[in-house]
Every structure is written in structure tokens, then in C-alpha cells.
Amino acid sequence: MFIRSSGETFKVTGVEKHNIRGNLIDLCCAEVSEGTKKTLKMCSTNDNEYGITWTIDSKTGNLYKYMEQYKEGGKSCQAIFDEKGNVVNEMCF
């Protein structure tokens, strides 16, 4: 499946296994592209409780992991990463 709009294409790429907080989880993934260049990749569980988002590094043009979503202690949490993979912000609510 794909959706094309204003030069961008959104394409479901399938199920991938990813490690989030030490748990190997099946995530449904999709990519957003402008022309032939990927600009965003998103993967999540059906209930959106776990997920990972990659975005483009403006300096290198490569995708890097920008955010993880996960459950911890009954709360929804997010970790935000910089281009080097360091956590720069973490929150639970």
C-alpha cells in the first residue's frame, strides 16, 4: 500500500522486529519519501504503545533514530535521541 501527495510517498513496508528497552517487538513499518529519498520511517505496534521513528539528519542526509515510544510502569513514555544516538529528552506521562 502507498499514498502519494504533493511529491511525497507514504509506503507501508511491512513488519520488522526491533528492540525497545530490551524487548524484541514486532512493529508495522512505513516510510515517507520525497522522490527517491527517504525522509522519515515510522514503526509501531497496532495499539501504538511501542514505536520508533527515524528522521533525516540534515548534515549527512541519512536517517537516524529520533524517537522511541514505550510503556514503563503503566505509563506511556518517549525517549528523544540526537543524531549520534544519545538520549536528549525522556518523559513519561
Please name the fold of domain 2-92: Lipocalin (2.40.128)
- Which set of grid coordinates corresponds to residue 53? 521513528
Q: What is the pLDDT of residue 37?
A: 86
Q: What is the pTM of this model?
A: 0.87
Q: What is the pLDDT of residue 3?
A: 61
Q: Which stretches in the chain have pLDDT values below 50?
A: none
Q: In Å, how far are 46, 51, 71 from 64, measured between CA atoms? A: 23, 14, 22
Q: What is the pLDDT of residue 10?
A: 87
Looking at this protein, which amino acid is placed at residue 11? K
Q: What is the pLDDT of residue 7?
A: 75
